[in-house]
């Protein structure tokens, strides 16, 4: 009589980190294929906690980015945005863990949030903006399930993809510098000899405790990153907030000294019931007034802001975890991309902006995570944060701004992939990067990059090289840039 084997072995084996793989495989091991991928439950839990610590800052930072008023002047409640951010991150990361079974964590993408705050809501209400988020998420899911993502991936030059990330990084950095008071507007239009539109600090100098808190927090995070300390941004935000609280107390500062928003004062309670006031706050009413071209450009910009970064991040982390082959193919890649796209829908429905895979997932992978169990642990960490939203109200904007500057610098590392000696590459990249911060908008940078890329290729006699899709996109962006002059000539406005 023979006995059939269950599992790969019945003998305990050393996992390599001092822990032992159990002889009988548990349901947890079988469901997540932990042993099959050379990991242990302990490693997965540790990796999940590490990833959570590395990206928990988004719960504090996303409300700051989304604090701008919409076209009607309405501002979102900070506590509600914090709850929505934690909720959407928890749901999408848990789905990625249980269904995708890969060590990838999702949260509100800073690129997408920046587009929402500075490109979308100046033209519509926040309810409309969440509707746009749903549409963009649905578009990404459609692109994945139909296989069209390959067409778009191949159509957009790699250099332009890197430039979009770099431009958004500079834009996010400028937002942080302005929010901290490190850079201020002089109120003039500029263009006059000797006149500057912006300046360093107030009256050309840096003064005040809040600006000092910002500068020290930036330097601390940079120092921690240089030492490769896990969770450097979160540690910097917490340390900067503690220092700000001491300054606030002993320098006798007021809430107005911190910009009239969050002040580093201890809340009455550290725990509170989640405020789901933004859940389902989606409105398609009034989108017709925005215009079909503007809506199309906004959706396209949101897709570019989140989609290509997600593809690169997922494949890169898959390779780091040993889940991808030499061609970048990874088991369940389409499933992971579909969940990432669904993150736009979930984020819009929650009122938190589109959710996307975070590169900070590499922290957990570096700590041994190989399966979706790590993502489940990370997701549960975000779920716990639902009950600690009062803590987010303690962080002053100057400290949060420091994280924006650091993240901007991280996004600029894509510059190493650019061939600056080729004008057909360097000119579109340059315009893409500089126009985003200088126009305080992301779409003009993308449009200028695509148009000049196609134009230069045409001038070089390489009409076919950009491909038909790039030619169509260049025409769309030409219409985008020309829409206001045309409306003026026609008397439409």
**Lowest mean pLDDT: which of 4-18, 109-123, 315-329?**
4-18
Q: Is residue 14 a part of any domain in this protein?
A: no
- Shared-domain flag, residues 117 and 60: yes
Q: Is residue 484 a part of any domain in this protein?
A: yes
Q: Is residue 214 a part of any domain in this protein?
A: no
Q: Is residue 356 a part of any domain in this protein?
A: yes
Residue 14, pLDDT score? 44
Q: Is residue 192 a part of any domain in this protein?
A: no
Q: Domain residues for 468? A: 419-493
Question: What's the token pair of residue 74?
Answer: 């309405």
φ/ψ (deg, to 5) at 37: -100, 15
Among 331, 364, 398, residue at a domain's last position: 398
Q: Is residue 281 a part of any domain in this protein?
A: yes
- Shared-domain flag, residues 257 and 125: yes
What gap in Å lies between CA 175 and CA 188, rounded to an integer?
19
Q: Does 287 score more than 60 pLDDT?
A: yes
How do residues 29-64 score in pLDDT, each as one tens digit? 889 988 988 889 988 998 888 788 778 888 888 988
Residue 109, pLDDT score? 87
How do residues 99-131 score in pLDDT, each as one tens digit? 999 999 999 988 789 889 988 998 899 999 999
Residue 21, pLDDT score? 45
- Shared-domain flag, residues 389 and 435: no
Q: Pairing between strand 106-108 and 355-357? A: antiparallel
- Shared-domain flag, residues 337 and 484: no
- Shared-domain flag, residues 327 and 438: no
How do residues 135-149 score in pLDDT, each as one tens digit? 999 998 998 888 777
What gap in Å lies between CA 426 and CA 449, rounded to an integer?
10
- Shared-domain flag, residues 487 and 348: no
- Shared-domain flag, residues 332 and 451: no
Its pTM surpasses 0.85? no
CA dihedral sign of residues 201, 207, 212, 213: negative
- Shared-domain flag, residues 46 and 126: yes
Residue 412, pLDDT score? 87
Q: What is the mean pLDDT of the chain?
A: 82
Number of folded domains that form the chain: 2
What gap in Å lies between CA 63 and CA 65, rounded to an integer?
6
Residues of the chain with pLDDT > 70, as a percent, come to 85
What gap in Å lies between CA 49 and CA 43, rounded to an integer?
10
Q: Is residue 105 a part of any domain in this protein?
A: yes
What gap in Å lies between CA 108 and CA 86, rounded to an integer?
9
- Shared-domain flag, residues 144 and 262: yes
Instruction: Band the pLDDT of 319: cuts 50, 70, 90.
Output: low
Other C-beta atoms within 10 Å of 47: how many? Answer: 28
Nearest to 356 by CA among 306, 415, 303: 306
Instruction: Band the pLDDT of 488: cuts 50, 70, 90.
Output: low
Q: Does 308 score more than 90 pLDDT?
A: no
Instruction: Band the pLDDT of 133: cuts 50, 70, 90.
Output: very high
Instruction: Band the pLDDT of 153: cuts 50, 70, 90.
Output: low
- Shared-domain flag, residues 380 and 290: yes
Most confident option among 81-95, 285-299, 386-400: 81-95
Exposed / middle / buried, residue 440 (Cβ in 10 Å: 0-12, 13-18, 19+): middle
Q: Does 331 score more than 80 pLDDT?
A: no
- Shared-domain flag, residues 361 and 432: no
Better pLDDT: 134 or 51: 134
Q: Does 438 score more than 60 pLDDT?
A: yes
Q: Is residue 189 a part of any domain in this protein?
A: no
- Shared-domain flag, residues 432 and 329: no
């Amino acid at each position: 009589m023979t006995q059939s084997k269950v599992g790969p072995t019945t003998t305990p084996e050393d996992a390599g980190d001092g822990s032992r793989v159990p002889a009988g495989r548990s349901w947890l091991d079988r469901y997540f294929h932990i042993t099959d991928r050379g990991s242990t439950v302990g490693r997965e839990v540790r990796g999940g906690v590490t990833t959570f610590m590395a990206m928990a800052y988004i719960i504090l930072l996303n409300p700051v980015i989304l604090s701008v008023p919409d076209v009607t002047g309405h501002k979102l409640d900070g506590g509600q945005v914090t709850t929505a951010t934690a909720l959407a991150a928890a749901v999408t990361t848990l789905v990625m863990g249980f269904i995708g079974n890969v060590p990838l964590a999702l949260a509100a993408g800073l690129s997408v949030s920046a587009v929402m705050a500075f490109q979308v809501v100046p033209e519509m209400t926040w309810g409309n903006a969440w509707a746009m988020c749903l549409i963009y998420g649905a578009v990404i899911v459609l692109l994945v399930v139909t296989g069209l993502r390959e067409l778009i991936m191949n159509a957009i030059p790699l250099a332009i993809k890197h430039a979009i990330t770099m431009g958004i990084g500079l834009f996010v950095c400028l937002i942080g510098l302005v929010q901290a008071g490190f850079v201020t507007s002089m109120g003039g239009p500029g263009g006059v000899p000797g006149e500057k539109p912006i300046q360093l600090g107030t009256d050309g100098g840096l003064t005040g405790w809040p600006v000092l808190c910002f500068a020290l927090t930036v330097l601390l995070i940079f120092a921690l990153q240089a030492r490769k300390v896990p969770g450097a941004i979160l540690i910097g935000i917490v340390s900067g907030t503690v220092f700000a609280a001491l300054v606030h107390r002993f320098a006798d500062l007021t809430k107005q000294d911190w910009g009239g928003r969050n002040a580093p004062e201890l809340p009455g309670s550290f725990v509170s019931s989640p405020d789901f006031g933004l859940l389902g706050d989606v409105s398609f009413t009034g989108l017709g007034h925005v215009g079909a071209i503007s809506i199309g450009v906004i959706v396209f910009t949101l897709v570019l802001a989140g989609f290509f970064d997600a593809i690169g991040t997922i494949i890169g982390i898959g390779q780091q975890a040993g889940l991808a082959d030499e061609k970048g193919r990874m088991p369940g890649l389409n499933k992971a991309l579909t969940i990432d796209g669904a993150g736009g829908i979930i984020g819009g429905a929650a009122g938190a902006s589109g959710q996307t895979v975070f590169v900070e997932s590499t922290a957990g992978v570096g700590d041994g995570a190989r399966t979706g169990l790590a993502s489940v642990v990370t997701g549960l960490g975000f779920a716990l944060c639902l009950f600690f939203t009062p803590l987010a109200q303690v962080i002053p904007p100057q400290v949060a701004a420091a994280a924006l500057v650091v993240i901007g610098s991280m996004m600029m590392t894509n510059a190493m992939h650019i061939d600056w000696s080729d004008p057909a590459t360097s000119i579109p990249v340059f315009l893409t990067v500089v126009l985003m911060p200088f126009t305080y908008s992301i779409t003009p940078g993308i449009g200028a990059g695509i148009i000049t890329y196609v134009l230069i290729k045409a001038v070089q006699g390489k009409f076919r090289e950009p491909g038909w899709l790039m030619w169509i996109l260049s025409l769309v962006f030409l219409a985008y840039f020309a829409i206001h002059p045309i409306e003026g000539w026609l008397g439409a406005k």
